[in-house]
Amino acid sequence: MIKTLKGYVCCLTLLGLLVAEASAGDATTGLPIAAVEIRGNRYTQDFVIQRELVTRTGRHFDPESLAADLQRLDNLDIFSSLAAQVQRRADDSVTVVLQIRELPPVVPYISYDVNDQDGWSFGPAVKSVNLLGRDVFLAGYALFGGRESFLLDLSQPWWRGNHLSFDLDVSRNIRQNELDGFEETTTEITPRIGLWLGLHGRASMVASYMRIGADLPQVLLSGANEDELYRLGASVGYDSRDVWGNPHRGWLNEIEIWKTGGLLPGDGDFWTLHADIRRFQPVGEHTLVWAGLTSLQPGTMGRQVPVYMDYHLGGANSLRGYVVDDLGLELFGAHQMLTTIEYRIPLLQPREIRLFGLSADIGLGGTVFVDGGLAWTKSDDFELERARFGTGTGIRILLPAIDMTRIEIGYGEDGWRLYLATFSKMRAQRLRLR
């Protein structure tokens, strides 16, 4: 919400200024654009900015298009501030000047994660949001404590001139599965190629190699000490959000399908389908959010979906008001349905702080929510009466480097639960989704 409000106000302010100038007699709308000047970028290459612009030399000036251009640039998440000036020339054309202030290209910080199953984990992290000035995202972190995690993430959002993207995740996780009673070690390599379809559409192809080890052989498909899963997937999505970081208006819809095994080598033979629909509706400066997620994993050829691929409901990023072991078997299974209604309120406007010549925004927002969820494995277990609901409130803190920290309390059947969670900028940047 904080970043949403910043971008929303920025665009409205810019549009208001342009309209005011036009009404005062400096009618720049419709005049030809003689030049677009980019100023302030010390290491971001010009083409990274230019490829996002509809406002270009030779076209006619449109203040709404310029406002949309600034919003797209802000969504790259590599600039701390953006401003534009429109200068009328003597020959009845205009020069558009973009003034840019960049985020630091490399940010070291301390990462952390906390969830109901693993508890607290901390570790070092470093990321480059603008590697070589080409909007390439490269990050790595390690976590120790409740679980051990290692992640390397590479994202090239504009790999080819037709807006092909390339992403690569390499990760290793070691955790104690308390609910199912075994230690789990997972290594995963996931490359993804995406294609942007206009300004709002996206399609992608993805592959994944997973190696899962467990000290309880009964949970494995292979009957040995580890399973190997080879997976292929595809997705299509529609994204009309104004601000990707925390939207104020728009839609975010995605359908993704995976095939594990079958004609592929390795263990397992099942499908995975995700359908994710989110709507962000402005209510003045506030935002009403509705989101629905359905995940299905039908097995084929008589083979069951392995236990370690089950969904566990409960926690800050699932069904708030519960932890994963509140209701035992009633809150986990091979399939899930989740929905949420959330009302987001700005509490503290974003404020820029500068330290050692670097700048970042900090801010604060509040939220109230209602969550609902259902998990099941067999078709006979799908009963809407088994769904559970939770409600609560919380705050969202925008901090440099770690993006957004959430502190929330949720109320479910067993009383109140306190949650602390973060939005991972690594994943948000990789998929350009949140």
pLDDT on residue 105: 81
Task: Please give the residue that has the higher pLDDT: either 423 or 223.
Answer: 223
- The DSSP element (H or E) to which 67 belongs, if any, is helix 63-75
- Dump pLDDT digits (tens) for 276-301: 999 999 999 999 999 999 999 998 75
Q: Are residues 168 and 153 in contact, defined by beta-carbon separation less than 8 angstroms?
A: yes
Strand 332-333 vs strand 164-177: parallel, antiparallel, or unpaired? unpaired
pTM of the model: 0.83
**Domain 2-102 class in CATH:** alpha beta
User: To the nearest 10°, the Cα dihedral for 332, 333, 336, 341?
Assistant: 0
Considering the segment(s) 106-431 as one domain, its CATH architecture is Beta Barrel (2.40)
User: Worst-scoring range by mean pLDDT, 44-53, 118-127, 264-273?
Assistant: 118-127
Which candidate, 130, 80, 127, 122, places its Cα nearest to that of 108? 127
Paired residues of 397 in beta bridges: 364, 405
Domain ranges, ordered by start, for the chain:
2-102, 106-431
- Residue corresponding to tokens 């994943």: 427
Residue 74 has pLDDT above 60, yes or no: yes
Whole-number Å distance between alpha carbons of 47 and 34: 18
* DSSP single-letter state for residue 60: B
Through-space distance between the first and last CA atoms of the chain, rounded to whole angstroms: 12
Q: Are residues 277 and 291 in contact, defined by beta-carbon separation less than 8 angstroms?
A: yes
Q: Taking each helix axis as running N to C, give the angle between helix 63-75 and helix 2-23, from 0 to 180 degrees, rounded to the nearest 10.
A: 160
Task: Please give the residue that has the higher pLDDT: either 213 or 350.
Answer: 213
Whole-number Å distance between alpha carbons of 337 and 284: 30
Residue 144 has pLDDT above 50, yes or no: yes
* DSSP single-letter state for residue 433: -
Q: Within a 13 Å sphere around the CA of 345, how many CA atoms are in the beta-carbon half? A: 9
Task: Please give the residue that has the higher pLDDT: either 21 or 213.
Answer: 213
pLDDT on residue 386: 87
The pLDDT confidence band at residue 359, using thresholds 50, 70 and 90, is: low
Whole-number Å distance between alpha carbons of 15 and 239: 23
Residue 12 has pLDDT above 50, yes or no: no
Which candidate, 423, 360, 429, 433, places its Cα nearest to that of 131? 429
- Dump pLDDT digits (tens) for 242-274: 887 778 999 999 999 999 998 999 988 999 999
User: Dihedral sign, CA of 299, 202, 336, 333?
Assistant: positive
Strand residue runs (E) in 118-200: 119-131, 136-145, 147-156, 164-177, 182-197
